Amino acid sequence: MENKKRRFRFRFTIGNKILAGFLAVMVLFVINATIIFLTGNQIDNVVSKSAEVVRPSKDAINEFVLVVERYQKLITSWVYLQTNDENKNSLKLLVNHEYPALKERIENLKNTWDVDSQKTIVDTVFKSFERVQKYAEDQITTQLISFESYEDGITKLLAEDVLESTINPQLEEILVDLKGLAHAQTTRNAISDEELISSSKRLRNITLILAGITILLGLMSAYLLMRAITRPVNFLKDVVVKLGKGELVEDKQTKFSNDEIGEMATAMDNLVSGLKATTHFAENIGKGNYSSDFKPLSEHDVLGNALINMRNNLARVAEDDAKRNWATEGLAKFGEILRSNTNDLEKLADEIITNLVKYLKANQGALYIMDDETGDEPTMSMKACYAWDKKKFIDHKIHKGEGLAGQAWQEGDIVYLTDVPQNYIKISSGLGDANPTAILIVPLKVNEQIFGVVEIASFNTFADYEMEFVQKIAESIASTISSVKINARTQRLLEESQEMTEQMRAQEEEMRQNMEELQATQEEMQRNQSETEGTMQALNTSLSMAEYDVEGKLSKINPNYLSLLGYTQNEVIGEHHRIFVSKEEKNSEEYRQFWRDLEAGKARKGVFKRLSRKGEVVTMRSYFSPVKGRAGEVLRIMEISVEA
């Protein structure tokens, strides 16, 4: 036992094996990276030095050689070419700007040189070149500055002698020193390039060697891991495949090392045991035994927890199905009761409350129905009851809002009490009486119209599905009560209709006689109307006639009137009567009063002077008569006139 514990404590796990292999690879990788880093750093130093010191120094020295050569050419041109101003300006630019800038650049690079002799040569060259510049300035550029100085033979001869004997030899010496220095810089640049190439080759060789070692070590680690891991895993895989096919393996049939694979084997044994328990639990669920116990392997057991949830869901569904079937059967039962008792309201109410109390397994019940009498305030009365003291409630009418039943009627919603007052109601039996535990009051409502209330008392509380069932039944009861009342009302109206039919038959003969008298009267009126139309036609032919609205605008006029005044109908229709009168008359108060009287319903007559279309005065005897409606209002004004 002690050896087993010690072996377990110091076991070389799969993770350790993999970690050891990766550590070896990582060590090689670190060594490789270190060497590559150091070599790369060396290469970077060489490249940096070559880019920042060697190559710029070589380029600067070569540029210095070019500057000296250009100076030599330009100073020679100054001596021998009088009119070459471009070269003179180039010489000044070289001395004053290009050379100082180049000198500053070389001075900065010189500080990074390793060879002191090269620094000395550069300093010497700078001094020599500057002495040459100073001497040339004193003897040449300041002497040969004008046309007269060039024409002066002695001055020019002296300048040529200085150039050939002093300046050019010194410049040649400077060029020799600079070219030697340039060669040294070129040699140094070549050495730097060789060092760079050598370092790159060394880095490549080291990388290839370390890569080979890393690959070899990786292959060895993979082989060892395959022996330690792959074979046992393949065996466990075969077991898992069998489990995937539904086979429950009883024996591992092999020994495993004391590592994770051993733990996997133990976990597999637990899995097989758990699958057996799960299978037994699933069989119980399939048989409808939802009360069987089952303990999942852990709180993370997906299958076990899913089966428990399935059992709970199936139990809940079975319970819901039982409630639904109970409600469906109840609806069918009460539907048959309602269909078979549509003629007798008393019997219908008694059947409803009796069967409802029994179906709910309650103890008492009462059914209240709205009274048909129409008074100042609607009421309802108890129509039937079960195990209720009906004598106590004979002729008792409940008003809206009175008591719990009246409150349910007023609110149009159920009332459910579980804290029943002591003196509210008693459920009695031969051995005594007791207070109910719950009271359920449901209004009989359909299309928002209340037809009554059902009240049920029980020693047990009512479940939600039972209250929903009662609400559905209440709607059907209300609809049936409505139909029964409508049928009764229809029967009563039918009887009243038959009585009215007899009365109407007696009145029919009297109406027939009245119709005959009415027909004779209509014939007489038609004869009178014909005579009136003939009279109006004769008047219209012999007299001048016109009609005005209450404002005095002409609406109708006959041909006699138009012929008398010389107008056409289109010229006067819609115009005011004032077109027929003079300007003085139409502006007079008498004329305005004339139309106010007509508008007030007063007739006017007399002899009037009217103007024709040509302006001629026509004397007319006219009669103006307002035409009134049934309410006495003036509708229009008629004028009948003849020429006086």
Cα–Cα distance for residue pair 146/150, rounded to 1 Å: 7
Q: Do 463 and 322 touch, CB atoms closer than 8 A?
A: no
- How far apart are alpha carbons 430 and 11 in whole angstroms? 84
Q: Are 90 and 77 in contact (CB under 8 A)?
A: no
Q: Which residues pair with 397 in a beta bridge?
A: 381
Count of residues for the chain? 644
Residue percentage of the chain with pLDDT more than 70: 79
At 36-45, the pLDDT tens digits run 777 666 666 6
What is the predicted pLDDT for the residue at 415? Answer: 87
Longest CA pairwise span in the chain (Å): 173
Under a CB-based contact definition with an 8 Å cutoff, are residues 398 and 381 in contact? Answer: yes
Q: Distances from the Cα of 70 to the Cαs of 93, 127, 233, in angstroms? A: 12, 18, 85
**Distance from C-alpha of 100 to C-alpha of 103, rounded to nearest angstrom:** 5
Dihedral angle over CA of 166, 167, 173, 177, nearest 10: 150
Q: Are residues 534 and 541 in contact, defined by beta-carbon separation less than 8 angstroms?
A: no
Entry pTM? 0.39
Q: Compute the distance between CA of residue 644 and CA of residue 608 in angstroms, rounded to an integer.
A: 9
Packed helices 464-542 and 302-340: angle between N→C axes, nearest 10 degrees: 50
Q: pLDDT class for 13, splitting at 50, 70, 90?
A: low
pLDDT in tens, 147-164: 777 777 787 788 778 888
Q: Which amino acid is at 118?
A: Q
Give 215-258 pLDDT, tens digit per residue. Answer: 887 777 777 766 666 766 776 777 777 767 666 666 555 566 66
